[in-house]
Amino acid sequence: MEKSFVPLAYRAPSEEALLERARGFYRQIRTRRSVRQFSHRPVPREVIELAIQSAARAPSGANQQPWHFVAVSDPATKRAIRLRAEAVEREFYARRAPKAWKSALKPLGTGPAKPFLEEAPWLIAVFAQTYGFDTEGRRVKHYFVTESVGLATGFLIAALHFAGLATLTYTPSPMGFLRDLLGRPENERPFMLVVTGYPSPEAKVPVIGKKPLEAVATFVEPGD
């Protein structure tokens, strides 16, 4: 494709505004929790459309945007997803999961029952396109697919959280069934299910901690 450039539309905020906005975003995002109990209360489709549009603004390898989002509110489809997912989870908890994995999950209190897959008004299945097609229908290799789709999914849950909804990133393993169930093509692999809606008024979340800055970041500055 012929390259063409335009000036970046950008106005630097003052340093004061920079700090205020950085603090504001952190204050918002730090309240995000993975929620497993949802209200049946419907969420307008436009909210989901906007969040997906936010997700699709994520950077991606060679700007190939190797993702597709299937937003499901249809009860019969949600039920079908739940039934398939619970079959996978029964196998996971009974046989597939190594002991160490199960003990890592203990604090979360998870198990094979996944009622949230029917309770939540929307399930957003995120697909990763392992390759694409050019205008002549020839296969095009995609670069950094996992990184790109991970970024888009991060944008998606941040957008939904910012809007005021609860989210759960859910990955039944294996989850190949989602491709068949949702009729997606061969070049797409299911990446994650993002469950979203209002939390149930009864929703409880485990008491867990997040690592402090010193544990997750190292700064290398002049004079160090």
Q: Does 37 bind ligand IYR (CB under 6 A)?
A: no
Among 50, 80, 83, 105, binds ligand IYR (CB under 6 A): 105
Q: What residue type is assigned to position 115 of the chain?
A: P
Least Å distance, CB 149 to ligand IYR, is 17
Least Å distance, CB 101 to ligand IYR, is 7
- For ligand IYR, the closer of residues 97 and 140 by Cβ is 97
| Per-residue interface string for the shown chain with ligand IYR, residues 47-66, x marking contact by CB under 6 A | --------------------
- For ligand IYR, the closer of residues 38 and 66 by Cβ is 38
Stretch that binds ligand IYR, among 64-72, 104-112, 175-183, 184-192 (CB under 6 A): 104-112
Contacts of 159 (CB under 8 A, 6+ apart): 50, 51, 54, 55
The dihedral formed by the CA atoms of 54, 55, 57 and 59, expressed in degrees to the nearest 10: 150
| Per-residue interface string for the shown chain with ligand IYR, residues 152-191, x marking contact by CB under 6 A | ------------------x-xx------------------
Helix axes 45-55, 145-163, angle to 10 degrees: 140
- Supply the DSSP string of 112-158, one letter for each residue: S--THHHHSSEEEEEEEESEEE-TTS-EEE-SSHHHHHHHHHHHHHH
Three-state DSSP at 190 gives strand
Among 21, 108, 115, 206, binds ligand IYR (CB under 6 A): 108
**Under the phi-then-psi rule, with left for phi > 0, alpha for psi from -120 to 50, and beta for the rest, what region is 97?**
beta
Tokens standing for residue 209: 């901690």
Which residues bind to ligand IYR, rule: CB under 6 A? 89, 92, 105, 108, 110, 170, 172-173
